[in-house]
Structures are given as C-alpha cells and as structure tokens.
Amino acid sequence: MWKSIPDGGPERLVALADGVFAIAMTLLVLDFSVPRELGSDQYDDALRELIPNLAAYALSVLVLGAFWREHRRIFGYVRQIDGQVITLTIVGLSVAALLPFPTKLLSEYGTEPESVAIYSATVAALGAADLAVLLVLVRRPWLREAAEPPEGFGLFVLDLAVTVVVFLAAVPLALAYGQAAIWLWLAMAPIKVTIGRRAQRAG
C-alpha cells in the first residue's frame, strides 16, 4: 500500500464518499421522536427536550457538510488514486459514519466533559484523514491533475490543518473545563475567514 501504484480514477471512491456522508447525515435524525398521546403541557415539554438534539444536529450537519465539500474539492484535483489514497479515504469515511454517535452524546450528555472531548476528537480525526490525503497528493504529483488550487496547495493544507489543530486542542481542554472547549471551536471562525481572504487574494 505504501508504494504509489496508480489504481484507476477516483470516480468510484468519490461515489462511495457521497453515499457515506448522505447516510451519516440521515442517521443524525433517527433519534428524534415525540411520544404519542401527550397532553398540551407534556407535548410542549417534549418539544423543549428536543432542543439540545436539534442544536447538536445542526452542528453535525454543518461539520459533515463542510467536510463533504472539502472532500469533493480535494478529489477535484485527483487524476489517479493509489492504495494509500484509498486507505486514508476509507479511514476518513469510517470516522464520518461514526459522527452520529458523538452527536448523540453531545445532545444527551452535553454537560459531561467526556462528551465534548469525544466529539472534538472525532472531528479532529475526520480532518486529519482529509489532510493526510491532501498531503499524499502534494507529495505525489503523478496522482494529480495538472491544475492546482488558485491559492496553491500551501493555503489549502493550512486551512485543513487549522481544523485539525483546533479540535485536537479542544480534547484536553474539554476534559479539564468541559463546555469551555466549545469556545475554542468558535475561535476557529476568524482564523478560517482570514485564510479564506488570503486565498482569494492569492487566487
């Protein structure tokens, strides 16, 4: 697997990724339910109890949607895949398929430090898999198309690396301070905006 032997185009791998991301997003809503035959007060309480689920659902849809977009962008520059690209992609897709579980932990036990830490670690692992695929492509130009990102691969790698570093740093922070780690997730937004602006200027 560590020798770069081209193994055809990326079409089937991209199709597999599309399916996994679609299924993972669908699994996020399977636990949403309201008991039947409730009175008005009980019905209102049941809807209020769904708010944490909806918040965690919205967060995970945003995460999965962003990673699906990045995955499509990465593979837009792929002409040939090899064993390492396949393996790293499968690892990333397995993490994407796992995300509904930490999402449930976050919605039902969001005050527990372990829930925030597990969610952070999952997102970091998902980003690390995408970053690893991108780095393989940077080091193996024979797998790539002739075109490059308008901003170059350097800023593309940096953008993904920021996600990995932030969510990885959030793991020990969550274990020590609980939900305070979520503020670190939010702190990533201005960094991403700055990188995006630099990418636009470079492009």
DSSP 142-160: GGB-S---TT-HHHHHHHH
**CA-CA-CA-CA torsion sign (111, 30, 98, 61):** negative
Specify the pLDDT at position 146. 79
Q: In the predicted model, what is the mean pLDDT of residues 109-121?
A: 93
Residue 203: predicted pLDDT:
63
Instruction: Give me the domain span that covers residue 120.
Output: 11-202
**Res. 200 pLDDT band, cuts 50 70 90:** confident
137, two tokens: 């492509």
Total tally of structural domains belonging to the chain: 1
Q: What percent of the chain has pLDDT over 70?
A: 96
- Which structure tokens are listed for 113? 């430090």
Assess if residue 111 is contained within a domain: yes
Q: Is residue 144 part of a domain?
A: yes
DSSP 84-115: HHHHHHHHHHHHHHHTHHHHHHHHHSTTSHHH
Asked whether residue 3 is domain-assigned, the answer is no
**Does 6 fall in a domain?**
no
**Any domain includes 143:** yes
Q: Is the pLDDT of residue 2 over 60?
A: no
pTM for the structure as a whole: 0.89
198 found inside a domain: yes
Does the pLDDT of residue 60 top 60, yes or no? Answer: yes
Q: How far, in Å, CA of 105 to CA of 85, rounded?
A: 31
Instruction: With cut-offs at 50, 70 and 90, classify the pLDDT of residue 24.
Output: very high
Per-position DSSP letters for 79-90, written without gaps between them: S---HHHHHHHH
Query: How many Cβ atoms are within 10 Å of 196's Cβ, its own excluded?
Result: 13
Query: Considering the domain boundaries, does residue 70 fall inside one?
Result: yes
Average pLDDT over residues 174-196: 87
Average pLDDT value for residue range 51-64: 91
Give me the mean pLDDT over the 157-185 stretch.
91
Does residue 134 lie within any of the structural domains? yes
Q: Assess whether pLDDT exceeds 80 at residue 6.
A: no
- Mean pLDDT of the region 36-52: 78
